[in-house]
Structure 1
Amino acid sequence: VRDLHPLEFAHAGQTKIRDRNIPSSLEAIEENINDIAGVRVICSFCEDIYMLANCLLKQDDITLIEIKDYIKKPKPNGYRSLHLIISVPIFLKDEKRDMKVEVQLRTIAMDFWASLEHKIRYKKNLSEDLQKELAEELLYCANQSAELDMKMQKIRNKI
């Protein structure tokens, strides 16, 4: 399990607030931002992703708000991951409140691909031709990674 760096969420949150014209009040942010906190879980096998998600959602203090299954239906660029937006209780000094949290579950291959794609996407000064070429190569790699995940799962299932 790897927690996302707080600065990753702070930057993403500021961008979402600005892009969606959300007022900067605490109430507006809590209502409109679903991933004010997050956790990324890295698994060895695809089956483990769904098993862990089911275990998490069986907990009586966790409420599923939304599920985005980018494994069964990858994004057009090849991105794969299972995203759960959940509500979990947090305990403050004088109260207990529910907090929305994004949980991302991926295989090692999915995480490797997503990390590389993220670094490339935010590179400045790349020509349109190079961006298009890299996008095509990344999509190819995403498909290869998915195939590798399936093959590794088959090997595990034989054991």
Structure 2
Amino acid sequence: MQQDFFKKFNINPLKFDQSGLKWEDLLAISTHYDTIKPDLAAVGKFAVESILKCKNVHSINYRVKDNEHLIEKIIRKTIADPCRRIRIDNYQEQITDLVGVRALHLFKEDWSAIHEFMMDSWNLAEPPKAYVRHGDSPRIIEYYKEKDCEVEEHPFGYRSVHYLIEAGLGKEKLKVEVQVRTIFEEAWGEIDHVVRYPYHKDKDMLVRLSSILNRLAGDADELGTYMRYFKTYNDQVEASHQQEIESKNQIIDSLRQQINQLTLDENQLQSLTNSLDALEGTKQNIKKPKQEYLWLDSFMDSPLFKNLSHQLEKIVQSEGFQPIEVSEEDFAIMENAQKELFQILGNPEKLNRFLSDGHVKNLMNQIEFVEPKKS
């Protein structure tokens, strides 16, 4: 049994002997662990139900560590630090992820709201820890620190924020490790764990392939952030455009009524002129979305975004997007027409004759209102 266990988890028997661990002691821990697993499961369910109250959590699950992985982790921790002694009376304090919860979110920026929820809702046994990848934006790292997170660069590019919370159904509180990450980060982590970690960390080809997959997962997260930013900005543009259409339709309607009832004097002329000016000058300044998109910077600097930008530039420069060319003769005609219009507006008699012209009246009656879109 012991040898099969070592082979399954790629444990060096010599290092195990040097660690001072006894197989019999590990079996005793496993037997004791069976007695507390039902309580651990109940605490895990309680934590899941509580965290699901945060609307930014897309999906969540929990697990109670199985006996084999508990023993395997005790062995690895002891081999890594021979001074550490993990016994039957302290393993629950030494192994802090007996109950593990994974809370997943869709967009990187959703983490901020989840973090606030976790900090407000739970007692933490230690400060949250944000694992980042080499090359991550200094702005993001600083943001984690501003949120009272310890930041640690993970050697294999693992990204996640861990919270060690104290939870329980009664007076006794148990530690639960809550890992918060995006769906793409979860997908990479699961694949990496099954294929490479922790038993094949020295396989160079697997390390390289996992690194590529990690980069693709990061690109997917950043592209998702950009898509959300683009949608938010585009929605604001459309809403502003809709408001502009409604405003101009109101001005046109008012203008039509003024013209139909017109007996010109100076005040009416000024009112008509002001209405036309307003129709010409109504503009909406589109503001950028208020929400912070900290992870957008990384995407803007990525090869993926630069390639997309290059493709868009090629489309814009294609024949289908050639600029409209106006000849000098057409431009002169438009300029003269504008001058004549302002001369008419400045002379009540000319304006009255202009508006009384049958052709002009027909044109005014053919004005089409742009109907606003119904939401």
Give TM class, smaller chain: 0.7 to 0.9
Root mean square deviation, CA, Å: 2.4
- Point out the structure with the larger strand share: 1
Tell me if the contact between 1:65 and 1:87 (Cα under 8 Å) persists in the aligned partners.
Answer: no
Match of 2:210 in 1: 138
Alignment-derived partner of residue 158 in structure 2: 79
TM-score w.r.t. length of structure 1: 0.78
Q: Is the 8 A contact 1:39 1:103 kept in 2?
A: yes
In structure 2, C-alpha distance between the alignment counterparts of 1:91 and 1:133, rounded to whole Å: 46
8 A Cα contact 1:69 1:82, kept in partner: yes
Q: 1:102 aligns with which of 177, 189, 195?
A: 177
Report the CA distance between 1:16 and its aligned residue: 2.7
**Aligned-partner SS, 1:4:** strand
- Is 1:62 matched up with 2:123? yes
Aligned match of 2:101:
39
Q: Distance in 1 between matches of 2:156 and 2:197?
A: 15
Distance 1:87 1:123 in 2: 27
Q: Within 1, Cα distance between the matches of 2:69 and 2:112?
A: 26
Give 2:156's aligned amino acid: N
Given that 1:17 and 1:23 are in contact with CA atoms closer than 8 Å, whether structure 2 keeps it comes out as no
Q: CA deviation at 1:74?
A: 4.7
The 3-state SS of whatever aligns with 1:102 is: strand
Quote the Cα distance in structure 2 between the aligned partners of 1:143 and 1:74. Answer: 15
Kindly, what percent of the aligned residue pairs are identical?
A: 25
* Structure 2: gaps (5+ residues): 1-58, 79-84, 133-140, 142-151, 233-375
Higher helix proportion: 2
SS in structure 2 at match of 1:40? strand
1:91 aligned to 161, 169, 179, which one?
Answer: 169
- CA displacement, residues 7-61 of structure 1 (integer Å, 9 cap, x when unaligned): x454433223334340012xx12332222211001110111123212211112x4
Describe the shift of the 1:123–1:22 C-alpha distance in structure 2 as closer, same or farther (beyond 3 A). closer
List alignment gaps of at least 5 residues for structure 1: none
Does the 8 Å CA contact 2:63/2:100 hold for their aligned counterparts? no
Please give the per-residue CA displacement for 1:116-153, whole angstroms capped at 9, x wherever unaligned: 101112698x8x6xx21121111122122112211211
TM-score (norm 2): 0.36
1:157 match: 229
Q: Which amino acid aligns with 2:61?
A: D
User: Quick one: distance in 1 between partners of 2:60 and 2:71?
Assistant: 22
Residue in structure 2 matched with residue 2 of structure 1 by the alignment: 60
Residue type of the partner of 1:91? L
